[in-house]
């Protein structure tokens, strides 16, 4: 079986697919998952923006998701809760990586670098004059907000997916200690 098939199986079946791997297939996939998680971790840490272009992901979302699950599975057997928590954060953090339209690239970068504190802006009375930077921010906020909504939806989907994975792992380990 090739890595692509294993990736699909892990994303579809979770821990059962991981635990069914043996021998050279398991070693190849563990090596691949180490490479994927390491590369993703580097991109994740280098890009701390709320919204990051998905084109920066070093592998496909499916590969990253499956490899994070594989690593989590490994650390769960070792009972390494710190590593497990980091992997869950990284998994849900995939939500920050979105398909960004070319015309929105510069706008999102500007807003991330020099965002005006929104709370101050929205506290001004209706008749108060907004500064030029505040006005620019409000005009562009709708675009930013639409991406933020995508991030929130993706975050919930990823959280639910990972919860199903963990429940499957728990069921598997309690039935086969």
pLDDT in tens, 128-152: 576 777 676 666 777 778 888 899 9
Determine if the pTM surpasses 0.85: no
* Cα–Cα dist 78/55, whole Å: 34
Q: How many domains does the chain have?
A: 1
Which structural domain range is residue 124 located in? 3-175
CA distances from 88 to 24, 34, 91, 157, 177 (A): 27, 16, 5, 13, 23
Q: Cβ distance 98 to 57 under 8 Å?
A: no
Mean pLDDT of the chain: 85
Q: How confident is the model at residue 105 (pLDDT cuts 50, 70, 90)?
A: confident
Name the residue with tokens 């069914």: 20
Name the residue with tokens 């500007």: 110
pLDDT of 122: 44
């Amino acid at each position: 079986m090739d890595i692509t098939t294993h990736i699909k199986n892990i994303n579809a079946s979770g821990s059962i697919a991981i635990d069914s791997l043996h021998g050279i297939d398991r070693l190849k996939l563990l090596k691949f998952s180490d490479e994927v998680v390491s590369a993703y971790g580097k991109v994740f840490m280098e890009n701390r923006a709320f919204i990051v272009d998905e084109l920066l992901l070093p592998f496909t979302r499916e590969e990253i998701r499956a490899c994070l699950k594989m690593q989590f599975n490994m650390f769960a057997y070792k009972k390494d809760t710190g590593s497990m928590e980091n992997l869950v954060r990284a998994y849900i953090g995939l939500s920050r990586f979105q398909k960004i339209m070319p015309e929105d690239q510069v706008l999102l970068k500007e807003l991330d670098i020099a965002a005006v504190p929104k709370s101050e802006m929205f506290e001004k009375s209706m008749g108060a004059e907004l500064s030029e930077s505040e006005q620019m921010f409000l005009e562009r906020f709708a675009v930013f907000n639409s991406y933020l909504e995508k991030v929130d939806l993706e975050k919930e989907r990823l959280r639910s997916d990972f919860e199903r994975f963990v429940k499957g792992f728990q069921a598997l380990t309690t039935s086969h200690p």
